[in-house]
């Protein structure tokens, strides 16, 4: 019995390794128990995952590279299969369904409309703490050229707000946030995402 209760399934979580905060997410995932974190950039690597992080960076660049690497359908397929997808900052833009300016080809994994750079430019970057009902209180959040969610469909749970702008949301197995949880030592958000990944 003791042996049985010690047995835990390892979840394999990929970080999309095209551009942006890849190593930061890999480091953050390394601190979560029972996770194998891997950098992924092709369809074969993606097919083998329990969950995928689409990191922050530059959404226009990541979008172009997703196209060049023919990953759009593979990522959509993962989401349809119920695998966990976590888009942070630029990753939130990419997971979204529309932006007013239409300058990024989005994956449409979650029914949100996104204002890119909604909180302003690099110089307007800021840090705050958030209370996120299903996760915890006083969670540190770093915003860098951050987007926000301007509209969310009925299926979407809006989880956190800054100045009345939605900055974190979830639709079933797809989680997005405007900020960078991987840049803080508080791993509650990353742990929440890992819990959403089936294995
Ligand atoms: N503003 C960037 C974009 O739209 C995102 C910035 C970030 O990921 N820190 O791509």
Which atom from ligand 1 is nearest to the alpha carbon of 144? 9
Averaged confidence pLDDT in the chain: 94
Q: pLDDT value at position 4?
A: 52
Q: Which residue has the tokens 């993962």?
A: 78
Report domain extents, the chain: 11-196
Using the predicted structure, report yes or no on whether residue 12 has a pLDDT greater than 60. Answer: yes
Residue 57 alpha carbon to ligand 1 centre in Å: 5
Residues belonging to the active site: 89, 180, 182
Q: Is 144 in the pocket of ligand 1 (CB under 6 A)?
A: yes
Q: pLDDT value at position 2?
A: 46
Residue 153 φ then ψ, to 5°: -70, 170
Q: pLDDT value at position 195?
A: 96
Single pTM value for the model? 0.95
Residue 45 token pair: 């690597």
DSSP at 98 = B
Q: Kindly state the average pLDDT of the residues 117-146.
A: 95
Q: pLDDT value at position 1?
A: 46
Distance CA 54, CA 40 (A): 10
**Dihedral angle, C-alpha 38, 30, 131, 192, nearest 10 °:** 60
Q: pLDDT value at position 5?
A: 46
Which atom from ligand 1 is nearest to the alpha carbon of 88? 8
Candidates 146, 90, 85, 134; CA nearest to 110 is 85
Q: Kindly state the average pLDDT of the residues 68-92.
A: 97
Q: Whose CA is nearest to atom 5 of ligand 1?
A: 90
Q: Kindly state the average pLDDT of the residues 154-182.
A: 98
Region 11-196: CATH code = 3.40.50.880
Question: Residue 74: pLDDT band by 50, 70, 90 thresholds?
Answer: very high
Distance CA 105, CA 60 (A): 8
Residue 133 token pair: 């009902």
> From the CB of residue 81, how many other CB atoms can be counted at a distance below 10 Å?
10
Question: Residue 8: pLDDT band by 50, 70, 90 thresholds?
Answer: low
Using the predicted structure, report yes or no on whether residue 126 has a pLDDT greater than 70. Answer: yes
Which atom from ligand 1 is nearest to the alpha carbon of 91? 8
Encode pLDDT of 76-87 as tens digits: 999 999 999 999
Q: Is 117 in the pocket of ligand 1 (CB under 6 A)?
A: yes
**How much is the CA Rg of the chain, to the nearest whole Å?**
16
Residue to mutate, 16, 53, 59, 116, ligand 1, most ligand atoms under 8 Å from C-beta: 59
Residue 45 φ then ψ, to 5°: -65, -40
Question: Residue 103: pLDDT band by 50, 70, 90 thresholds?
Answer: confident
């Amino acid at each position: 019995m003791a042996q049985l209760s010690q047995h835990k399934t390892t979840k394999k979580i990929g970080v999309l390794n095209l551009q942006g905060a890849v190593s930061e997410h890999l480091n953050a995932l390394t601190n979560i128990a029972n996770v194998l974190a891997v950098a992924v950039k092709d369809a074969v690597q993606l097919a083998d995952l329990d969950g995928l992080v689409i990191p922050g960076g530059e959404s226009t660049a990541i979008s172009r590279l997703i196209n060049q690497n023919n990953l759009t359908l593979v990522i959509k397929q993962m989401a349809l299969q119920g695998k966990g997808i976590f888009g942070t900052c630029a990753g939130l833009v990419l997971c979204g369904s529309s932006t007013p300016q239409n300058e990024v080809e989005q994956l449409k994994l979650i029914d949100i409309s996104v204002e890119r750079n909604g909180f302003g430019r690099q110089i307007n970057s800021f840090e705050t703490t958030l209370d996120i009902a299903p996760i915890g209180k006083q969670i540190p959040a770093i915003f860098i050229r951050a987007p926000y969610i301007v509209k969310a469909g009925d299926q979407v749970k809006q989880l956190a707000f800054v100045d009345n702008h939605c900055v974190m949301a979830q639709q079933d197995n797809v989680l997005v946030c405007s900020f960078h949880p991987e840049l803080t030592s508080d791993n509650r958000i990353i742990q929440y995402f890992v819990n959403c990944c089936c294995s």
